[in-house]
Amino acid sequence: MVTRELPDGPNNVAVVEQKETLPLAFQVEAGAYINAIRSSLDILAVTLANRHCRALVDAAYFPVAKSAAFFAAGQYKGAKFVRALPEKERAVIEFLRPYKGGNNLLYPLHNLDIVRKHQRLLGVEVQPQMFIVSGWGDTVNAFTPVARGWIRSGQDEIVIGFVAKNAAEKSCIRLTTQVSLGEPAYLPYREVITTLYDFARMAKAIIQEFE
């Protein structure tokens, strides 16, 4: 962390700088886990096709639609397979609401997998998770955090607060960080490990519904 002087005003700004970028291997591995979890649902679809409608094995995909309207109209990959399933299995799939605005994990999982397979590596971002300010007397009060905890001020830097210029001693600031998925179009910034765990737990629960 560095402190940068603000010429006009009583405070300096406290900035966290990222010295090195994450290795690309991290993004590759995170994408591979996402692909494995998404593929487990397509394997489930093939299993259901073998169980109930073998003629449609090659058309069996676990459904994810662009919207509730697209899902209701059957405008998604695997629609023919879903229509051929027994009522009980179709009811389970419908209950999952596998479309944008219906399932806040299944839809992002599906689209993040498309991004990493067909477009590019998934974006990741290092963010402050928590910081502790310590010191003697009024030293702690010399530091004022920004309203939401941190503000990204550049590609590799984040502002976490302001330090009073007239402070007798500097505050001691200890910072811990987290690595988040940087794909806000599909998922708000969330810690990668937590997101992968939630995706895996969701897929496991879906598979168990058909046992």
* Residue 28 clears pLDDT 70, i.e. is over it: yes
Distance from C-alpha of 124 to C-alpha of 28, rounded to nearest angstrom: 11
| Cα 103–Cα 108–Cα 109 angle in degrees, nearest 5 | 100
Report the distance separating Cα 71 and Cα 65, nearest Å: 5
Averaged pLDDT of the chain: 89
pTM comes to 0.81
DSSP secondary-structure letter at 103?
-
Quick: pLDDT tens for 130-177: 778 777 666 667 787 887 777 787 777 888 778 888 776 677 878 788
Whole-number pLDDT of residue 138: 67
Neighbouring CB atoms inside 10 A of 137's CB total: 9
| Residues 196 and 30: beta-carbon distance below 8 Å | yes
- Angle made by CA atoms 106, 188, 190, in degrees to the nearest 5: 90
**Mean of the pLDDT values across residues 36-54?**
97
Which one is predicted more confidently, 143 or 82?
A: 82
What is the per-residue pLDDT for 178? 84
Phi (first) and psi of residue 193, to 5 degrees: -60, -45
Give the model's confidence band at 86: pLDDT under 50 very low, under 70 low, under 90 confident, else very high: very high
What pLDDT, on a 0 to 100 scale, did the predictor assign at position 129? Answer: 78
